[in-house]
Structure 1
Amino acid sequence: MKVYKSILYCVLSVFLSSKIQAQFISIDDAKNASELVNVLTNNSSCLQISNETVKGDTHTSAKNSYGTFTNTSSNFPFKTGIILSSGSSSNASGPFIRDFNDGNNSWLGDTDLNQTLNINSVNATVLEFDFIPLTNSISFNYLLASNEYQDNYPCEFSDGFAFLIKEKGSTNPYQNLAIIPGTTIPVSSFNIHPKIVFNDGCEAKNESYFGQLNTNPNNNSPINYAGQTKILNATSSVIPGKTYHIKLVVADDRFVYYDSAIFIEAASFNSEIDLGEDRLLASNNAICYGENYIIDTQLPPNYSYNWYKDGFLLPLETNPSYTVTSAGTYTVEVTLSPSTCVATKDIKIEYTPQIELKNSSLSLCDFDGNEKETFDLTQADTSIKNNNTSLSEITYYENILDAKNNNNPISNPLHYTNQTLTQTVIAKVTNSYNCAYYAELTLNVLKTDNQLPANIIIAVETTNFGGDNNTATIESISNGDFEFSIDGIFYQKSPEFTKLAPGNYIARARDKSLCTESVPFPFIILDYPRFFTPNGDGYNDYWTIKNLNTLPQATIRIFNRFGKFIKEFQSSNLNWNGTLNGYLLTADDYWFNLIFENGKSIKGHFSLKR
């Protein structure tokens, strides 16, 4: 967009001797439409060109707003090509001179450009032609140069340009190919610029596509524009044999000042073969190890095809597509008809590193005979991953079809119940490139019907007299993959059980590797009252040790707090009524010593209250 600023720019740049000797682009603005298109296509027979037209500056005598350019400077990326400008193309030769540029309100804009960019254009230059592609893709290289790259103009204003394409005769709107890659945003000085600090300025936009400013007085720019983008590529998929119309147009928006130009590289407009993007590790789209990849030209089978890998001909490969099984640089050489021109295209294919998973298995014993067990599938994770910690967490599926389609994953792999006595589930894992790999996990439920109980438990060590906080530790034989229980229902890996209340228990152990169960091993947790009140009211009149009747060989001895022996009785006579030789003893603390049959003893104390 052009705007007339109230600030007077009357001081022009002075040509220094070094600038006079500098290398600038040279412009030939006497070319007709056919000559311009021939430069774009390099007279390629892979495109059938017709109906070329060009129009532009109608008010400047002996000057055109289009032409060809030649460049010998290393400061400009194109050697030759064509230029379309919103001013006289001959003014494009450098160095940059700060000026209003030229233009005229009688030089009209372009309605298709207005509709595409929603602008009100003036001073339009338009190159149009029809073409029939023989391949499935066309593209050309270009850059935008503009005098809008001054002061804070990129924050507010922008000229318009577009590369428009549609099927000839179609009533559909044009498609604009001059867009920022990966977006639908038109390329312009408003949409591509560095951070602007002049006046209030503005933040950078799409700066990675900006090339350079040419406004520095010491910058011997080969072109007479304040700034330019990097080389951009306009590309479009096409259908071989169809007729398309191309319209290349650049114009000012509303105001005729501060011109812009499109530089298009010579020979860059051509039929191309679209093989897709390179599949590289660096871009995280390499082919997964072990997979095949089809390179498809999507071109007619009547063309002639040669395929190469790393420069060597693959003599048996003459089809429009090729199936890749290993890394390399692949080239297709296609002889197109009816023109008999030859088009080539390369694509580089890399593979992700090999991942080796291991099939694994888990086995549980069917101790209850119902043929169902609860498996912790994650116990096999490390084995399946083959100790490769870089892989993702494993997701389990009941079949390979669900695994490959990401359907119905096992929701709780920590508690999975088997469906059959022997069942295979699928483990799915991905690497850092999101490649999926699969392994089998076999679940075995082992029958125990004919197994006899084994003498697995040696003893049970208990702590007693702890209220509801007693412990029991099951001692077993040394060899075996054991799990333990004291209620016959819940089993655990640890042989120690805590927070046990007084009572009778049965210890059990089972060997998961041999699917054998132990002979039940009874044990007791003892407790005693911390006080008793022998007053004859029928409540708490006697002191005893709970459950002692299960240990008939135990002996209890009672002492007063000074250590004087008071009473001894066997477990068959459990009660003491607080007397000595028929006399009532005084309220006090008393001690006891419980002696088991094996000689082990436990001491404790209690209170007699009256």
Structure 2
Amino acid sequence: MSKTLFPFFLLFFGFVKSQNITVDDTYTPAQLVQDVLVNNGCIQISNVSVSGGNFSNGENSFGYFNANGSALPFAEGVLLTTGKLSSAVGPNSNFSDDGTGMNWTGDSDLNTALGLSNTFNATVLEFDFISNTSQISFEYIFASEQYLSNPSPNQCSYTDGFAFLLKPVGGSSYQNLAVIPGTTTPVRVNTVRGNGTICPPANETYFDAFNTGNYPTSFDGQTKILTAEAAVTPGILYHIKLVIADEGNARYDSGIFLRAGSFIATKNLGPNRLIATGNPLCPSEILTVDATEIGATSYQWFENGIAIPGATNPTYTINHTGDFSVDITINANCTLTGSIQIEAAPTLNINQDLYVQCDTNFDGLDTFNLAAIQNTLFTSLPTGFQIAFFDSPTSTTPLATNFTTSIPYQQIIYARVTNIQNCYGNIPVTLKVNIFDKVFTTESVSLCSGNSITLSAPLGYTAYTWNTSPILNTSSILITAAGSYTVTITDANGCTNTKTFLVTSSEAATIIEVLVNDFEENLTAQIHVQGNGDYEYALDGGLFQTNPIFNLAEPGEYQITVNDRNGCGLSSISFFALSYPKFFTPNGDGFNERWRIENLDKKGLENSRIYIFDRYGKLLQQILASGDGWNGLYNGQMMPSSDYWFVMELTNGRTVKGHFSLKR
């Protein structure tokens, strides 16, 4: 271990000034116990002994100390160390590391109490006593050079041992009073340590500080003031042994500072009722404190150090915050003191216990932020109060901060103050989930080119917000362009839902052409259109169909109508389907007298040529498509009933061949 020495010139010019403790090792053991440590008439002391290091210069490892106006919390008292008493004197730039190589042994009772086997340099102060009351206590500070401010990792486990061992005289085993309050853990360097070094902190509440060079003792750190206490039987002879020793080796001294006059007989009035310890006085609770002590001749109660008039009974009733104490007179030489600190838990005023949210997936369930709810649950939550939420009054498992309800629409959970015992119980909190009353489907809308259209959201809601630029807040809007339009709809509960309109542009069709397979056995017409619409087709006023191909029963003139199913208009066109007659009857009755192909001129084919042959391939007649056709004569002679063939050379370059019948 190393310490930083202050430069001489600082000391010389007085820039650093501090007071150090003083020590005196000339006190007899009886004086240390009777006159310094005890010094009251409620405890009778006997059989005092002390042992420690046998230093060659006659110095002791125990004795009296005085704070000498320094920062040490105790004004005076008894000091037991594992080195020379004088080595404990500050400043902290000194290094207390005595007792090596002098055969200074440890202590077997300390080993047993702490489960050790390797203690050295034990200093022991022990005595017998009889108490007039049922409670004894004394105050102490543990200090050590092993509270290193800059340790290496292997030094984190270094720790000296000490114990305050108590048993009835003749008893078989000791009770160790030097423990962390509320536990059985012995107070040591590695069980009470602050943070700030590489060694892990432990029970920081009870650690005071790592000391700087101007501290009034030589020790590198110490605990806060701790109290050792025990219940005893009045009139019974007890033995107490105060022992401290180095562990592992004789290096790095430690010390126990015992406050002068602190070994007293006290009256235990029960645990303090504090918010910090979770047991304050609950609202409307009345606490009766009983100080009854056998042999007492009088009682006087105090509140905050001031005597309470008329409060002279063994019991006192408390219903509010304060520091209460009682003086119990046993005899002229013995007055006991008992004290209890009371804090009252405040009344918690509920600010809000109903929380409402809107569901977005229509199942009546939603996730609530319980941390945010905690902040608004009470009008004001006292500092240090810890709130948790549970799904039932008997549950012991807190709910997650982001809690998803499991009961649709409304669920009650329970808030509890978890660090205050038995004051508030379960506080019901209602989580309500509202849902929007309707599911909206996406609606497809057509907009005719050059026109406008009104998009209308469902009516009966409180607010509307469209995703337009600028944003519109009406239930309906007029649009002139295709696109996706979404309106956010808010209901009376503040819940929202959205409806989307997919607007597509549409227009009446432009008919490009009608393709007919003229002169085929099965006549068809296929309509070709152009336009940004959704079209259907009808032939000669018939039913509309989505297929643009029609079967034609016979040649002739037809009309096609094309309708935009989005309502943007109709388009129509007439066309001709061409075919040839399958027979003719030149019998003089005036009907079907000539074989002729009609309507060729409607398609600009009137100049086409037609050649007629008999069954043997003999050319009988050549005619123009625009002429009157064939009358069934060849060289003025009537041709017989039979099948005849033709070849038609169309002016569009196509050649059509077929046959027909002549019937008489």
After TM superposition, the score normalised by the length of structure 2 is 0.49
Cα distance in 2, alignment partners of residues 352 and 209 from structure 1? 25
Cα pair 1:309 1:330 within 8 Å, conserved? yes
Q: Which residue of 2 aligns with 1:158?
A: 159
Matched, 1:182 2:178: no
Which residue, out of 111, 118, 121, partners 1:114? 111
The code of the aligned residue for 2:178 comes to A
Matched, 1:264 2:261: no
Structure 1 segment 315-464 matched on structure 2, within 5 A: 315=310, 317-319=312-314, 321-325=315-319, 328-337=322-331, 340-353=333-346, 433-435=420-422
The code of the aligned residue for 2:194 comes to P
Q: Give the superposition deviation at 1:208.
A: 3.2
Q: Which residue of 1 aligns with 2:301?
A: 307
The code of the aligned residue for 1:53 comes to S
Q: Which residue of 2 aligns with 1:288?
A: 282
Bigger mean CA deviation after superposition, 179-188 or 323-332: 323-332
Q: Which residue of 2 aligns with 1:30?
A: 26
Q: Which residue of 2 aligns with 1:364?
A: none
The code of the aligned residue for 2:184 comes to T
Which residue, out of 233, 242, 254, partners 1:239? 233
Matched, 1:145 2:149: no
Partner SS for 1:336: strand
Q: Which residue of 2 aligns with 1:366?
A: none
Cα distance in 2, alignment partners of residues 355 and 208 from structure 1? 28
The code of the aligned residue for 1:343 comes to L
Cα distance in 2, alignment partners of residues 192 and 13 from structure 1? 29
Cα distance in 2, alignment partners of residues 356 and 11 from structure 1? 56
The code of the aligned residue for 1:213 comes to F
Q: Which residue of 2 aligns with 1:49?
A: 45
Q: 1:73 to 1:435 in 2, by over 3 A?
A: same
Q: 1:60 to 1:210 in 2, by over 3 A?
A: farther
Q: 1:149 to 1:308 in 2, by over 3 A?
A: closer
Cα pair 2:25 2:60 within 8 Å, conserved? yes
The code of the aligned residue for 2:233 comes to I
Gaps of 5+ in 1: 358-386, 398-413, 415-427, 439-561, 563-610
Gaps of 5+ in 2: 351-376, 382-386, 395-406, 408-413, 426-542, 544-664
Cα distance in 1, alignment partners of residues 392 and 244 from structure 2? 55
Q: Deviations over 1:372-398 (max 9, x none)?
A: xxxxxxxxxxxxxxx99999999999x
Q: Deviations over 1:179-230 (max 9, x none)?
A: 1222222112222233475xxx43222233222223x5xx212112222222
Which residue, out of 76, 80, 105, partners 1:80? 76
Q: Give the superposition deviation at 1:51.
A: 1.0
Cα distance in 2, alignment partners of residues 63 and 299 from structure 1? 44
Cα distance in 2, alignment partners of residues 79 and 240 from structure 1? 30
Q: Deviations over 1:295-317 (max 9, x none)?
A: 12252164422334563435374
Partner SS for 1:273: strand
Which residue, out of 205, 209, 212, partners 1:212? 209
Cα pair 2:37 2:78 within 8 Å, conserved? no
Q: Which one has the largest radius of gyration?
A: 2
Q: Deviations over 1:479-510 (max 9, x none)?
A: xxxxxxxxxxxxxxxxxxxxxxxxxxxxxxxx
Cα distance in 2, alignment partners of residues 355 and 226 from structure 1? 46
Cα distance in 1, alignment partners of residues 87 and 68 from structure 2? 17
Q: 1:292 to 1:116 in 2, by over 3 A?
A: same
Q: Give the superposition deviation at 1:125.
A: 0.6
Q: Which residue of 2 aligns with 1:224?
A: 218
Q: Give the superposition deviation at 1:328.
A: 4.7
Cα pair 2:34 2:45 within 8 Å, conserved? no
Q: 1:436 to 1:429 in 2, by over 3 A?
A: farther
Q: Which residue of 2 aligns with 1:297?
A: 291
Q: Which residue of 2 aligns with 1:492?
A: none
Q: 1:289 to 1:110 in 2, by over 3 A?
A: same
Q: Give the superposition deviation at 1:246.
A: 1.0
Q: Deviations over 1:497-541 (max 9, x none)?
A: xxxxxxxxxxxxxxxxxxxxxxxxxxxxxxxxxxxxxxxxxxxxx
Q: 1:58 to 1:99 in 2, by over 3 A?
A: closer
Q: Give the superposition deviation at 1:46.
A: 1.4
Cα pair 1:328 1:348 within 8 Å, conserved? yes
Cα distance in 1, alignment partners of residues 278 and 48 from structure 2? 43
Q: 1:336 to 1:429 in 2, by over 3 A?
A: farther
The code of the aligned residue for 1:185 comes to T
Cα pair 2:134 2:234 within 8 Å, conserved? yes
Q: Deviations over 1:290-343 (max 9, x none)?
A: 333221225216442233456343537423x33335555433221014x64222
Q: Deviations over 1:151-199 (max 9, x none)?
A: 336512111111111112111x2111111222222112222233475xx
Could you say which structure has the greater relative contact order, defined with CA pairs below 8 angstroms and 6 or more residues apart? 1
Cα distance in 2, alignment partners of residues 196 and 324 from structure 1? 42
Q: Give the superposition deviation at 1:110.
A: 0.9
Cα distance in 2, alignment partners of residues 194 and 347 from structure 1? 28
Cα distance in 2, alignment partners of residues 186 and 280 from structure 1? 24
Cα distance in 1, alignment partners of residues 292 and 107 from structure 2? 36
- Alignment RMSD: 3.8
Q: Give the superposition deviation at 1:89.
A: 0.5
Q: Deviations over 1:30-88 (max 9, x none)?
A: 11111111344452111111111111112433201101111234432122111101111
Cα pair 1:136 1:298 within 8 Å, conserved? no
Cα distance in 1, alignment partners of residues 15 and 236 from structure 2? 49
Cα distance in 1, alignment partners of residues 169 and 291 from structure 2? 24
Cα pair 1:132 1:241 within 8 Å, conserved? yes
Cα pair 1:13 1:98 within 8 Å, conserved? no
Cα pair 1:104 1:123 within 8 Å, conserved? no
Cα pair 1:41 1:267 within 8 Å, conserved? yes
Cα distance in 2, alignment partners of residues 327 and 208 from structure 1? 23
Q: Deviations over 1:455-483 (max 9, x none)?
A: xxxxxxxxxxxxxxxxxxxxxxxxxxxxx
**Matched-pair identity in %:** 38
Cα distance in 2, alignment partners of residues 309 and 10 from structure 1? 47
Cα pair 1:56 1:65 within 8 Å, conserved? yes
Q: Deviations over 1:329-374 (max 9, x none)?
A: 433221014x6422233334344456899xxxxxxxxxxxxxxxxx
Q: Deviations over 1:76-112 (max 9, x none)?
A: 2122111101111011111232464333342221110
Q: Which residue of 1 aligns with 2:565?
A: none
Partner SS for 2:31: helix
Q: 1:98 to 1:281 in 2, by over 3 A?
A: closer
Partner SS for 2:268: coil
The code of the aligned residue for 1:194 comes to G
Q: Deviations over 1:548-572 (max 9, x none)?
A: xxxxxxxxxxxxxx9xxxxxxxxxx
Cα pair 1:334 1:342 within 8 Å, conserved? yes
The code of the aligned residue for 2:111 comes to N
Aligned residues: 367
Cα distance in 1, alignment partners of residues 63 and 179 from structure 2? 23
Q: 1:322 to 1:394 in 2, by over 3 A?
A: farther
Q: Which residue of 2 aligns with 1:128?
A: 126
The code of the aligned residue for 2:156 comes to C
